[in-house]
């Protein structure tokens, strides 16, 4: 066990061979992320206009594009990555309210701006002034939250600029929302602007229309099937994310699998919750001091809860026959943040640096690897069923429909 924990560069090839010798897969077989979000913001904005004018990527992201590409190339030694911004914000109400508070704070702490616009200081503002200020903040927040295709186009242009020097194959992707009527929420997909399309339900996008859908396994399944049958869709991301456990169990998993094979669509196992747990709990050295090994049991006991779809006996049993028939899965972390990337952005551009992943991180990944290998062997899942293990050429072929 211990000698598995050397640096990724030297160890990757050996780890792959060792795992293959045991008929297993190593995390080193995973050649890249197919679901990632970036965000670029001024790190020290003086006014909301700095955000309105310079924000790029998904509102829920946190890593600037160039930092993300560089990290996946240099530190993770990946072969490819798909940048898949949200076609529209997944929850605009939440984005607006969060940003409104932030922008109010910026105005209130900017003496010059207050004097210029209200001819007084913060402490002299009346209730009416504050209401007026809030209105301005809401308008600015809306400009950032309610973005359209122009924001996606900007990222595609940036990918064009950066990808040749990135050392990675960068797939121009999108995470599009499947709307209640089965449509996808950007016309850019039909126009063929992307190399690959992740399709997902984000019910907060239209709470009222989605309410009956997320409470009825029949209706939700029907919508998912519309996504699978869309000729442009390559990956069905986080099926069941917005649902209660009992609804998830009742979805038409067999039909998803059948149609996914037929339409060349991969079903995603989304590890966002798992990675967040590793970052916030397992790597919290106040909670589990350096010399403590308690985190191992905690992580093991939480995996069923943190890993969707294949952690359910019922769903596993339903999907099992389809892997030998060619069912594909994508194992993605839906990367929004990365504990090991530091970055700052100002008007001159973005600077970034990396922190090494420590021993405990690798030990946690080893525990996850074992969990997956047990399931792979139970379900007969092989390398060819997991599209993240493909070469970039094989992936290009898979994305072609
Ligand atoms: Zn999503
Ligand atoms: Zn996502």
The ligand minimizing its distance to the Cα of 242 is 1
What is the per-residue pLDDT across 307-351, written as a single tens digit (0 to 9) for each?
999 999 999 999 999 999 999 999 999 999 999 999 999 999 999
- From the CA of 21, how far away is ligand 2's center (Å)? 34
Q: What is the pLDDT of residue 5?
A: 44
Residue 80 and residue 349: Cα distance in Å, rounded? 24
Residue 149 and residue 58: Cα distance in Å, rounded? 12
Inter-CA distances, 335 with 65, 89, 203, 318, 338, Å: 12, 16, 20, 28, 7
- From the CA of 36, how far away is ligand 2's center (Å)? 6
By residue count, the chain amounts to 401
Q: Which two tokens stand for residue 244?
A: 């209660």
**Dihedral, CA of residue 336, residue 216, residue 320 and residue 325, to nearest 10:** -90
Residue 317 and residue 249: Cα distance in Å, rounded? 11
Residue 248 and residue 225: Cα distance in Å, rounded? 15
Which residues neighbour ligand 2 (ion) by CB within 5 Å?
Answer: 175, 334
CB atoms within 10 A of CB 165: 11
- From the CA of 178, how far away is ligand 2's center (Å)? 13
In the chain, what is the greatest distance between 2 CA atoms, to the nearest angstrom? 75
What is the per-residue pLDDT across 242-283, written as a single tens digit (0 to 9) for each?
999 999 999 999 999 999 999 999 999 999 999 999 999 999
- From the CA of 23, how far away is ligand 2's center (Å)? 31
CB atoms within 10 A of CB 197: 27
Q: What is the pLDDT of residue 7?
A: 56
- Asked if residue 270 lies in contact with residue 308, where contact means CB atoms within 8 angstroms, the answer is yes
- Asked if residue 322 lies in contact with residue 309, where contact means CB atoms within 8 angstroms, the answer is no
The ligand minimizing its distance to the Cα of 84 is 2
Residue 282 and residue 276: Cα distance in Å, rounded? 9
- From the CA of 13, how far away is ligand 2's center (Å)? 30
The ligand minimizing its distance to the Cα of 177 is 1
330 closest CA partner among 275, 263, 395: 395
Identify the residue whose tokens are 């209200």: 118
Inter-CA distances, 220 with 71, 217, 277, Å: 37, 5, 28
Ramachandran sector of residue 25 (left: φ over 0; alpha: ψ -120 to 50; beta: rest): beta
39-40 vs 56-57, strand pairing mode: antiparallel
- From the CA of 182, how far away is ligand 1's center (Å)? 16
Residue 355 and residue 348: Cα distance in Å, rounded? 23
Q: What is the pLDDT of residue 9?
A: 59
196-200 vs 235-236, strand pairing mode: parallel
**Dihedral, CA of residue 304, residue 205, residue 69 and residue 264, to nearest 10:** 70
Q: What is the pLDDT of residue 12?
A: 86
Q: What is the pLDDT of residue 2?
A: 43
Helices (H) and strands (E) in the chain, counts: 16, 10
Using CA of residue 114, residue 120, residue 123, residue 124, what is the dihedral sign?
A: negative
Spell out the SS3 assignment of 224-236. Answer: HHHHHHCCCCCEE
Please list, in sequence order, all residues whose beta carbon lies within 8 angstroms of the beta carbon of residue 33, skipping any fewer than 6 positions away.
72, 78, 81, 82, 332, 333, 335, 388
Inter-CA distances, 45 with 68, 81, 122, 325, Å: 21, 29, 19, 53
For the chain, domains (ranges, CATH) are 2-89+148-399 (3.20.20.140), 92-146 (no CATH)
Q: What is the pLDDT of residue 282?
A: 98
- Kindly give the confidence (pLDDT) of every residue in the chain, 401 residues in length, as a single tens digit, with 9 standing for 90 and above: 444 445 555 678 899 999 999 999 999 999 999 999 999 999 999 999 999 999 999 999 999 999 999 999 999 999 999 999 999 999 999 999 999 999 999 999 999 999 999 999 999 999 999 999 999 999 999 999 999 999 999 999 999 999 999 999 999 999 999 999 999 999 999 999 999 999 999 999 999 999 999 999 999 999 999 999 999 999 999 999 999 999 999 999 999 999 999 999 999 999 999 999 999 999 999 999 999 999 999 999 999 999 999 999 999 999 999 999 999 999 999 999 999 999 999 999 999 999 999 999 999 999 999 999 999 999 999 999 999 999 999 999 999 99
- From the CA of 376, how far away is ligand 1's center (Å)? 25
The ligand minimizing its distance to the Cα of 34 is 2
- Asked if residue 88 lies in contact with residue 186, where contact means CB atoms within 8 angstroms, the answer is yes
In 130-228, at which residue ranges do the beta strands (DSSP E only) sit?
169-177, 196-200
């Amino acid at each position: 066990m211990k000698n598995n924990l050397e640096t990724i560069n030297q160890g990757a090839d050996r780890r792959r061979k060792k795992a293959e010798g045991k008929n297993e897969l190593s995390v080193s077989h995973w050649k890249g992320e197919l679901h990632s979000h970036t965000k670029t913001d001024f790190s020290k904005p003086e006014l909301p206009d700095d955000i309105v004018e310079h924000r790029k990527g998904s509102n829920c992201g946190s890593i600037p594009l160039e930092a993300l590409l560089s990290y996946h190339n240099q530190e993770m030694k990946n072969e490819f990555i798909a940048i898949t911004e949200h076609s529209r914000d997944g929850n605009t109400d939440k984005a607006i309210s969060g940003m409104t508070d932030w922008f109010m704070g910026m105005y209130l702490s900017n003496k010059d701006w207050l004097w210029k616009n209200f001819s007084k200081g913060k402490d002299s503002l009346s209730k009416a002034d504050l209401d007026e200020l809030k209105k301005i903040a809401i308008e600015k927040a809306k400009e950032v939250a309610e973005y359209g295709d122009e924001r996606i186009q900007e990222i595609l242009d940036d990918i064009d600029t950066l990808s040749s020097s990135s050392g990675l194959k960068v797939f121009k992707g999108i995470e599009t929302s499947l709307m209640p009527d089965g449509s996808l929420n950007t016309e850019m997909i039909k126009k063929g602007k992307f190399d690959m399309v992740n399709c997902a339900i984000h019910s907060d996008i239209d709470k009222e229309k989605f309410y009956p859908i997320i409470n009825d396994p029949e209706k939700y399944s029907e919508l998912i099937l519309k996504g699978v049958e869309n000729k442009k869709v390559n990956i069905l991301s986080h099926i069941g994310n917005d649902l209660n456990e009992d609804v998830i169990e009742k979805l038409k998993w067999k039909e998803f699998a059948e149609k996914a094979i037929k339409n060349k669509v991969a079903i995603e196992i989304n590890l966002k919750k798992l990675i967040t747990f590793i970052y916030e709990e397992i790597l919290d050295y106040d909670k589990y001091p350096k010399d403590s090994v308690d985190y191992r049991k905690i992580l093991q006991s939480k995996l069923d809860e943190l890993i969707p779809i294949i952690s359910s006996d019922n769903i596993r049993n339903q999907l099992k026959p389809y892997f030998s028939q060619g069912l594909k899965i994508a194992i993605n972390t839906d990367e929004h943040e990365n504990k090991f990337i530091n970055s700052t952005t100002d008007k001159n551009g973005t600077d970034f640096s990396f922190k090494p992943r420590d021993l405990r991180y690798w030990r946690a990944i080893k525990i996850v690897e074992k969990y997956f290998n047990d399931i792979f062997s139970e379900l007969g899942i092989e390398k060819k069923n997991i599209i993240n293990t493909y070469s970039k050429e094989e992936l290009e072929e898979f994305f072609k429909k």
